[in-house]
């Protein structure tokens, strides 16, 4: 994944390493953004409300369950191979 971006203000390229977030509209919304390390220009990537944040948390939890299941299946497969090929 290429995270290199070019700032529209100073025209310098940099690698995007962190997206920040802050509460806006009385904490009803969360604004996500990154900052050019050269000129400090801010770029908003997206804004989320409470419902979207809940969905994001659900998705993250499901990803962890999938990873755990894949790990279990991989271990089961390795054990099965050991049984067939001692």
CA 75 to each of CA 16, 43, 70, 78, 84: distance values in angstroms, whole numbers, following the listed order: 35, 43, 9, 5, 14
> Structural domain tally of the chain?
1
* Residue among 39, 31, 32, 1 nearest 18 (CA): 32
Give the pLDDT confidence score for residue 78 in this predicted structure.
82
Please give the residue range of the domain that contains residue 12: 4-84
Render pLDDT for 31-64 as a digit per residue (tens, 0 to 9).
999 999 999 999 999 999 999 999 999 999 999 9
Which pTM does this prediction carry? 0.67
* 50-57 CB contacts, 8 Å cutoff, 24+ apart: none
């Amino acid at each position: 994944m290429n995270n290199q971006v070019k700032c529209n203000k100073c025209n310098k390229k940099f690698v995007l390493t962190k997206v920040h977030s802050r509460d806006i509209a009385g904490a009803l919304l969360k604004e996500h953004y990154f900052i050019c390390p050269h000129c400090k220009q801010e770029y908003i990537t997206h804004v989320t409300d409470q419902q979207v944040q809940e969905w994001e948390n659900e998705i993250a939890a499901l990803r962890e369950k999938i990873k755990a299941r894949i790990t279990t299946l991989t271990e089961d497969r390795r054990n099965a191979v050991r049984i067939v090929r001692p």
